[in-house]
Structure 1
Amino acid sequence: MFSYAKRCILVIDDEPDLCCIVKLTLERLKSWKILTTESAQAGLAQAEMQQPDVILLDLTLPSGDGLTLLQILKTNSTTQSIPVILFTATDPSSNSLKFDPADVAGVILKPFNVFQLADQIIEQLGW
């Protein structure tokens, strides 16, 4: 049976309470290593340094636009192969968001059920 214990997830979201909830839930439910950061710049640095298995990326970051960070991640040779799941309260199907659907592995809309979050990640990544 496949083990999820070695998985590493980077959460880039400007809400510290949400980062804490996601970290505690996924570490407890799946024993995954969860890294969190609240800014685009720190998120890019963490992604390059840690090479996580997946990135949960909020689209509305005060220190830098999440869509811009997505483009940087997908054009950076160090991070381009890391799957990115948009983690957002903004419906990505709205006309206000312009991104290439091929750049994202999935979307998790906020609010979300914390107990179903791990299953959503597993389903969207095909783990």
Structure 2
Amino acid sequence: MPVTRFGVSLDEELLKALDEYVQENAFSNRSQAIRFLVEKNLVEKKWQCDNIVAGAITLVYNFHKKEIRSRLMDLQNEYQEVVLSSQFYHINQENCLEIVAVKGPSFKLTELSDKLIAVKGIQHGKLIMSKVE
């Protein structure tokens, strides 16, 4: 895809923040960071429009607590039209990482993610979505 160059004017404070963002995220230059931010904005806008997206819900929890696993499976069955698969990994003696691959309307994925993350005992959870074309 051809690249088009254009100029951008930023006040000094915003430019400093952009440079810090470039450094913190290991982008090779400002252009790469700006492309990333624009793409991210477009994807998030697509989520708000309830278009079809794909993503992953990551969950960390204590796998010795059987009621957590049972509740997670119940919710995934309830949303089986958007759940593609689920993977389970042992992190250490007590904790596991579960990754639920999902595809569907963004509002449904957000709804499922919110319910999974809200399960009592979930230590950390996050939904990541990407556009599907």
Length-normalised TM-score, structure 1: 0.27
Higher relative contact order (CA 8 A, sep 6+): 2
| Greater C-alpha Rg | 2
Length-normalised TM-score, structure 2: 0.26
